[in-house]
C-alpha cells in the first residue's frame, strides 16, 4: 500500500503529456478523417486516388514504424525539424488514425440509404445541400461508436511516444522500474490502471454514441 502511495504521484507527472498528445492527435485525426473521407467520395479521379494513397500507406504500415520514421527519418530526408518529439508523436498518431477513421466516414456516408439521396434530388437540392442537410447528419450519427472506439485506440497509441523520449505515464513508469526492480509489478499495474481511468469516459461516451446512432437514421 505504501508503494502505491509513493508511486502514484510520480506516475501522475506523465499525465499531462499523455492527455495533451491524446487531445491534439484526436483533433488532427478527426480533421484528417473528414477531409480524407469526403475526398475519397470526390468526383475527381485525381483527388480520389491521392487520398486513397494516403489511406493505404498509413493503414498498411504500423503506427510504431510511422512514429519512428517521422521522428528519425523526416529530419534526415527533408532537413525539416518537426519542432519536437511532441509534434512527431501527434502527427504520427493523428495521421495514422485519421486514415482509419476516414474509412469510417466514407463507409457511413455510403451506407445512408439511397432513397434519402434520391428524395433530396427530387426536392431539387444541390449536391452540396444534399450532403449538408440530408446525408451528413445521418452519417455522423452512424460514425459515433466507431469514433469512440478509435479514440480509445488512440489513447493506447499514445503510450508509444515514450519510445521517442517523451515523458508520458509509461516513461515515468519505466524510470521507477529501472531504479527499483522489485516494484515492477506494482508500477506497471498502476500504469495500466492510469490508462484505464483515462479510457473510462471514452468507454462511456462510446456506449452513449451507440445508443444515439440507433436512433434518427432512416432505414431502407
Partner 1 sequence: MNNNWSWETFMDALPFVLQGLWITVSLTITCYLFALLFGFVWTFLRKVPNTFFNWVVTWIMEFIRSTPPLVQLFFLFYAWPMMPGIGVTLSPFTSAVLGLGIHFSTYIGEIYRSGIESIDKGQWEASKALNFSTVDKWRKIILPQAIPPTIPMLGNYFIIMFKEVPLASTIGVAGIMLMADSYGAQNWSYLEPLTIVGILFLVLSYPSAVLIKKLEIKMNTRFDKNAAIK
Binding site for partner 1 (CB under 8 A): 56-57, 59-66, 68-69, 72-73, 76-77, 79, 152, 155-160, 163, 170, 173-174, 177, 181-185, 187-189, 191-192, 195-196, 199, 202-203
- Shortest distance, CB of residue 178 to partner 1, whole angstroms? 9
| 73 versus 133: smaller Cβ distance to partner 1 | 73
- Cβ-based burial of 123 (10 A; exposed 0-12, middle 13-18, buried ≥19): exposed
Cα separations (Å) of 128 from 45, 50, 64, 103, 111? 19, 22, 38, 21, 18
- Shortest distance, CB of residue 173 to partner 1, whole angstroms? 8
| 106 versus 177: smaller Cβ distance to partner 1 | 177
- Choose among 90, 77, 94: nearest CA to 164: 90
- Shortest distance, CB of residue 139 to partner 1, whole angstroms? 21
| 29 versus 187: smaller Cβ distance to partner 1 | 187
CB-based contacts of 205, cutoff 8 Å, min separation 6:
148
Amino acid at each position: 500500500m505504501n508503494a502505491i502511495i509513493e508511486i502514484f504521484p510520480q506516475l501522475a507527472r506523465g499525465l499531462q503529456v499523455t492527455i495533451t498528445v491524446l487531445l491534439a492527435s484526436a483533433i488532427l485525426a478527426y480533421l484528417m478523417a473528414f477531409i480524407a473521407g469526403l475526398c475519397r467520395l470526390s468526383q475527381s479521379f485525381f483527388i480520389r486516388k491521392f487520398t486513397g494513397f494516403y489511406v493505404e500507406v498509413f493503414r498498411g504500415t504500423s503506427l510504431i514504424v510511422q512514429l519512428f520514421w517521422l521522428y528519425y527519418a523526416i529530419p534526415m530526408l527533408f532537413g525539416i525539424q518537426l519542432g519536437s518529439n511532441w509534434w512527431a508523436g501527434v502527427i504520427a498518431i493523428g495521421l495514422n488514425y485519421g486514415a482509419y477513421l476516414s474509412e469510417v466516414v466514407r463507409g457511413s456516408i455510403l451506407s445512408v440509404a439511397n432513397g434519402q439521396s434520391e428524395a433530396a434530388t427530387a426536392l431539387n437540392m444541390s449536391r452540396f445541400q444534399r450532403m449538408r442537410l440530408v446525408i451528413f447528419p445521418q452519417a455522423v450519427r452512424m460514425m459515433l461508436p466507431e469514433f469512440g472506439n478509435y479514440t480509445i485506440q488512440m489513447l493506447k497509441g499514445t503510450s508509444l511516444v515514450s519510445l521517442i523520449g517523451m515523458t508520458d505515464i509509461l516513461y515515468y513508469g519505466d524510470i521507477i522500474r529501472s531504479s527499483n526492480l522489485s516494484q515492477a509489478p506494482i508500477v506497471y499495474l498502476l500504469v495500466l490502471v492510469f490508462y484505464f481511468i483515462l479510457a473510462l469516459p471514452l468507454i462511456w461516451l462510446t456506449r452513449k454514441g451507440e445508443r444515439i446512432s440507433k436512433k434518427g437514421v432512416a432505414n431502407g
